[in-house]
Structure 1
């Protein structure tokens, strides 16, 4: 299969024309098959043949996460007997939403991951260790497996956790790449150091990092990334994806943002009023899926605040690149007059070597203001350490939240919950 699709090297106008043709096909499909979009077109007097260009998308109302939760089954465009896999969103905010995938959707998913992993430099014959779940209705784990299989790589399906087993597998099967939540790499390094494992001379060349950011907005390594690389000199590739998109944005070897695959998705970046933002500004990523059979989405607001980069990449692709997620719209916090997003707080907490684990809890005060409590367990559980953390917050974010010291055995059970696919480092109770 072609792992460097020619459309990604095409010029911008050619990509736009290609996407407009795909958009027209999608609108006909939705008009024929989707109860939700049939109703949306009718209620808003939208004639799909009037939507000819990407700019015309502005005439169509956006679809929200609330719509997906409220009318989940109205988004299905195929009968239940055509569904071969059921997945759910990870439910970061609110109830999970069910996604059905047809055979064709699984094929599209495997293509998406194959071209994304190829972007990060994985090749046919490489051994890749998956440190992520493939069950619990998790779409990504299945997608990684299908994509690696499609591109001819060998997969070691380890699943998350248990550093001892991960190292056993690394020395047994010699993987070149790992797929993992990046903070888990610190646990693996810690285990290796305590148990005399020569991890610096392992077969691992790089890790495709999921679920947590490893870059600053200017593409330099963030604190988490630096902490990993100070100990273990491996390449870290960031990736951004979601169940709703069934599409990934993965970095190439030049590591300057996740590349857009125009054959799979149309992207818009919108301001608070729903208008396209000026180039160089940040806004909410809004997506239209292409080639999805069971549950296609039209102008779906992801809730993620991002910045796009349009200058051609040194790798030869002309496609747009997405910078790291700045924050989630619904997780914006107004604290003592300052606007904050959780990623900025994660960076500060990751900066402290003495913190064993932490959880940020946001709630509303009696008078409706946002309050932040940071629960943390540390080897140095004293007032001096708490003072140092607070000072660091003041220096970086101009405000300092309330800090509670919690015993590691208690807090780690909340953060690394067996039913969660990712560490629960944020709890929003508002």
Structure 2
């Protein structure tokens, strides 16, 4: 079944899909070859349901054939961004001038969803360099909207608070676990977070909600200490489009004029609302490196009942996990986000990295690297008893210093903390 939306929007998407297929046939070495090898007659693809006749594209395709996805001459590329690859090195995504305008429109729509006005001032607590698309997207969207921008970059709580006090931003864009560090710094240094100018946060890179939209442990820890409105947003470099919450906090709003989204089961059939599947996207209006039925690897659900904010597009749930990161540990199925939630809940666990590896018979084993609040037998007992109670299985634990875990979380060239390491065969 196809997702519910207005007939007018479906017609617009179908028109844009036909334009995309013609464009790919002329300009994309990868898709031209795919159409030929699978004997796909693009003139027979007229409706959204017809999309199922086209094979999906994977991240491995994008990595192995990176240059064959480029649809424009090199001199038309204005910006090179990159995203992590599944097979080692990074994947490049090239953008034209038109793609940068589309990226700005995408984030303009996203900030409107998060009730942003030209009167807002945003402090950007993320990198705007190192080929990171998101930082640039937020900057371009805010500029299009006419809001104020403070490009401060990641980390350094002392500088973040000094700037908040001096320039009085109304909102921040940050990774939720870093917002907790800001709160801790404020507590340690006698700063009243609720007396600050900041009233909302766009949360990136980590879930702050459970699948039922209630705040998870991370979201609760932030809002218990700081009376700010949290807005989740989900995007990826490849899709150049975001799903951003409104103030109802009931999922990220779909932008159907910028992409066609499908949620597919293991057999690549579309699933209905409230059913977990893999988000698969077709970009609309992308010139440099458009993608057709690209499987993101992210497991999520969609919800199509009307939203109280008045928008009629369906909404995406928090990401439940990565398809390839599912862990089968002693008969229990786990996804890293759920494991992170459990680890975030305990005061005794200051920092962590989850490692998964294959044992001698090829089964998944879980090793937790943990920075404990104190090095004591009692603390160790509390951590182990808690994990046994919550997981019903006992993972292996190795205690590390804060310095050692930071080296694991931030290896060279990495932009955001690595919390999950997959060493399986």
Normalising to structure 2: TM-score of the pair?
0.97
Q: In the alignment, which of 379, 383, 397 is matched to residue 385 of structure 1? A: 379
Instruction: Report the CA distance shift for 1:193/1:418 in structure 2 as closer, same or farther (over 3 A).
Output: farther
Partner of 1:4: none
CA distance in 1, matches of 2:93, 2:84: 11
Q: In the alignment, which of 49, 54, 57 is matched to residue 55 of structure 1? A: 49
Shift of the alpha carbon at 1:424? 1.1
Partner of 2:38: 44
SS in 1 for 2:223: helix
Q: In the alignment, which of 349, 354, 358 is matched to residue 348 of structure 2? A: 354
Partner of 1:25: 19
Partner of 2:101: 107
RMSD: 1.4
Q: Deviations over 1:342-366 (max 9, x none)?
A: 0111001100123221100111112
Determine if the alignment matches structure 1 residue 375 to structure 2 residue 361.
no
Per mean C-alpha deviation after superposition, the further-off stretch among 306-315 and 193-202 is 193-202
Per mean C-alpha deviation after superposition, the further-off stretch among 388-397 and 249-258 is 388-397
CA distance in 2, matches of 1:11, 1:285: 17
Shift of the alpha carbon at 1:420? 1.9
Determine if the alignment matches structure 1 residue 403 to structure 2 residue 366.
no
Matches within 5 A, 1:262-281: 262-281=256-275
Shift of the alpha carbon at 1:233? 1.0
Contact map agreement 1:114 1:151 (CA 8 A) in 2: yes
Partner of 1:341: 335
Matches within 5 A, 1:266-345: 266-345=260-339
Shift of the alpha carbon at 1:400? 2.1
CA distance in 1, matches of 2:5, 2:221: 39
Structure 2 residues not aligned, in runs of 5+: none
Shift of the alpha carbon at 1:92? 6.9
CA distance in 1, matches of 2:198, 2:147: 15
Pairs aligned (count): 421
SS in 2 for 1:90: strand
Partner of 1:258: 252
Determine if the alignment matches structure 1 residue 145 to structure 2 residue 139.
yes
CA distance in 1, matches of 2:415, 2:292: 27
Instruction: Report the CA distance shift for 1:309/1:299 in structure 2 as closer, same or farther (over 3 A).
Output: same
Normalising to structure 1: TM-score of the pair?
0.95
Q: Moved runs in structure 1, 4+ residues, more than 6 A?
A: none
CA distance in 1, matches of 2:167, 2:16: 42
CA distance in 2, matches of 1:57, 1:293: 20
SS in 2 for 1:301: strand
CA distance in 1, matches of 2:178, 2:357: 28
CA distance in 1, matches of 2:119, 2:411: 35
Contact map agreement 1:348 1:392 (CA 8 A) in 2: no
Structure 1 residues not aligned, in runs of 5+: 1-9
Shift of the alpha carbon at 1:381? 2.4
Q: In the alignment, which of 225, 238, 241 is matched to residue 244 of structure 1? A: 238
CA distance in 1, matches of 2:372, 2:147: 40
Q: Deviations over 1:76-123 (max 9, x none)?
A: 000100000000013477431101000000000001001101100111
Q: Deviations over 1:233-282 (max 9, x none)?
A: 11111000000110000000111000000110100011111111233210
Instruction: Report the CA distance shift for 1:93/1:178 in structure 2 as closer, same or farther (over 3 A).
Output: farther
Partner of 1:203: 197
